[in-house]
Amino acid sequence: MTRSEEWFERAQKVLPGGVNSPVRAFRAVGGRPRFIVKGLGSHVLDEDGLEYIDYVGSWGPMVLGHSHPDILKAVYDRMVCGLSFGAPTALEVEMAEKMIGMVPHIEMVRMVNSGTEAVMSAVRLARGATGRDKLIKFEGCYHGHSDAMLVGAGSGALTQGEPDSRGVTRGAAQDTLMAQYNDLASVERLLDANPNQVAAVIVEPVAANMGVVPPKDGFLQGLRRLCDKHGSLLIFDEVITGFRLAAGGAQEYFGVRADLVTFGKIIGGGMPVGAYAGSRALMEQVAPCGPVYQAGTLSGNPVAMAAGLAQLTILADHPEVYTVMETGARYIANHLRESAKRHGVALQVNQIGSLLCPYFTEQPVDCFAAAQESNTKLYAKYFNEMLLRGVYLAPSQFEAMFVSSAHTQNDLACTVQAVEESIAALA
């Protein structure tokens, strides 16, 4: 047994499935998860001393790679002053100012501890501000694990959603309506069928939890128009896209304004942080200014703020990292396509900015139904071939490959060599 396997044996006795978040368990791809000891730049090292080029990047936060010296120094310098006070610190103000300076259309920010919490709170605010109960979300978009977001399309989907997990009550699910990503007509039908009842439409501006599905031209603009027409708020869940697509996130990248924006992942620099943000008028509905209650013992934690602020400062000061990451992602995407063509493997590669995803299917992937057409057995095989060659990808078809600014030319060259051999092994 490898050391990772030994740890996994022990882990399964004390952690459900051996993990603290399900996708880490490798169930979608087979095999045993690697237990990571440390990360440096684009590489991670596991318990057996094996080194991998990492394209998971903690599921997005490590946009500058692991153990960035400026971020570690900020954490260390802050840490020695004490870990948490439950009282305001200057860092929280600086963090909010930094975010507001980078992201268009936001005037105030509330920090929380995860993306899940950010979405849950933004949804409460949208309901509180509009006095409406219902939400529209898109099939295949993930917004964390709060009850109202764990909803699938039931038979009565035009009027109410169905729980997508045991333990979610019908009551919690019934106000979430399901639309199809990249299909404005599906949104319009729901808004028409539920007049003056929809508080908000929530969307991942680039769907990055069903692989990677970019919005079609006009889709986000159309959502803006429909929300304005029906008096609903538009929530961009930018937990992945925020500070990744561009310094100003999807609002900047696509030129579409959202009413509320949720953040997570990148803004913590690897620490557990989330946030929601919007106009002053909306955000002042939140306690203690307004009637929408939301609180957090560790929210705005100084060490977490130090890490996040250091990361955002680097991103703000070095706009060239966005070009570097996109160039890397496009390079890998092109090599995936070429290898697939060379070996006669049906493959679609979606890529936008530093995000990409290969789908093993003939048809273009522009929605959840199309993503589900991908041959997940082939993905599992591809994943394991890549892992064998020292490239650590997401252990699931329905996750993005994250390119960071720390991936070097040499990393990229090794990666496309592994791609060529792995795709050949599938043929």
Ligand X SMILES: *Cc1c(COP(=O)(O)O)cnc(C)c1O
Contact 217, 352 (CB under 8 A): no
DSSP state of 35: P
Closer to ligand X by CB, 144 or 278: give it.
Answer: 144
Tokens 């955002």 belong to residue:
312
Contact between 301 and ligand X (CB under 6 A)?
Answer: no
User: How many chain residues touch ligand X (CB under 6 A)?
Assistant: 14
Binding segment for ligand X among 22-30, 90-98, 233-241, 288-296 (CB under 6 A)?
233-241
Closer to ligand X by CB, 115 or 345: give it.
Answer: 115
Contact between 116 and ligand X (CB under 6 A)?
Answer: yes
Contact between 98 and ligand X (CB under 6 A)?
Answer: no
Contact between 264 and ligand X (CB under 6 A)?
Answer: yes
Cα distances (Å, whole numbers) of residue 272 to 113, 126, 264, 266: 5, 24, 8, 10
DSSP state of 104: T
Q: For 193, what's the count of Cα atoms within 13 Å in the CB-facing half-sphere?
A: 18
d(CA 343, CA 56): 26
Contact between 119 and ligand X (CB under 6 A)?
Answer: yes
Find all residues with CB under 8 Å of 10, minimum gap 6, and list them: none
Active site residue 183: no
Binding segment for ligand X among 80-88, 113-121, 124-132, 386-394 (CB under 6 A)?
113-121
In this structure, which amino acid lies at residue 380? A
Q: Which of 54, 175, 183, 237 is catalytic?
A: 237
Question: Which one of residues 190, 239, 380, 387 is an interface residue with ligand X (CB under 6 A)?
Answer: 239
Question: Which one of residues 27, 32, 50, 114 is an interface residue with ligand X (CB under 6 A)?
Answer: 114
* Number of helical H runs and strand E runs in the chain: 14, 16
Contact between 270 and ligand X (CB under 6 A)?
Answer: no
Task: Output the smallest distance, CB 241 to ligand X, in A.
Answer: 8
Contact between 209 and ligand X (CB under 6 A)?
Answer: yes
Closer to ligand X by CB, 115 or 328: give it.
Answer: 115
Question: Which one of residues 33, 41, 115, 278 is an interface residue with ligand X (CB under 6 A)?
Answer: 115
Binding segment for ligand X among 195-203, 236-244, 318-326, 411-419 (CB under 6 A)?
236-244
Backbone angles phi, psi at 76, to 5 degrees: -65, -45
- Any idea of the CA torsion for 402, 114, 68, 351, to the nearest 10 degrees? 10
In this structure, which amino acid lies at residue 177? L
Task: Output the smallest distance, CB 2 to ligand X, in A.
Answer: 28
| Burial tier of 154 (Cβ tally within 10 Å: 0-12, 13-18, 19+) | middle
Give residues 138-167 in contact with ligand X (rule: CB under 6 A).
Answer: 142-144
Closer to ligand X by CB, 41 or 249: give it.
Answer: 249
Binding segment for ligand X among 7-15, 90-98, 237-245, 285-293 (CB under 6 A)?
237-245
Q: Which of 142, 181, 253, 392 is catalytic?
A: 142
Q: Which of 98, 134, 137, 265 is catalytic?
A: 265
For the record, the structure tokens of 139 come out as 């099939």
Contact between 299 and ligand X (CB under 6 A)?
Answer: no
DSSP per-residue codes, 364-401: ---SHHHHTTS-HHHHHHHHHHHHHTTEE--SSTTSPE
Among 400, 392, 421, residue whose Cα is nearest residue 31: 392
Closer to ligand X by CB, 4 or 404: give it.
Answer: 404
For the record, the structure tokens of 381 come out as 């095989």
Task: Output the smallest distance, CB 262 to ligand X, in A.
Answer: 7
Contact 260, 292 (CB under 8 A): no
d(CA 261, CA 267): 13
Task: Output the smallest distance, CB 114 to ligand X, in A.
Answer: 4
Contact between 220 and ligand X (CB under 6 A)?
Answer: no
Find all residues with CB under 8 Å of 210, minimum gap 6, and list them: 140, 141, 181, 368, 371, 398
Give residues 344-403 in contact with ligand X (rule: CB under 6 A).
Answer: none
Active site residue 142: yes
Active site residue 73: no
Instruction: Give the catalytic positions in this structure.
Output: 142, 237, 265
Q: What residues line the site for ligand X (CB under 6 A)? A: 114-116, 119, 142-144, 204, 209, 237, 239-240, 264, 274
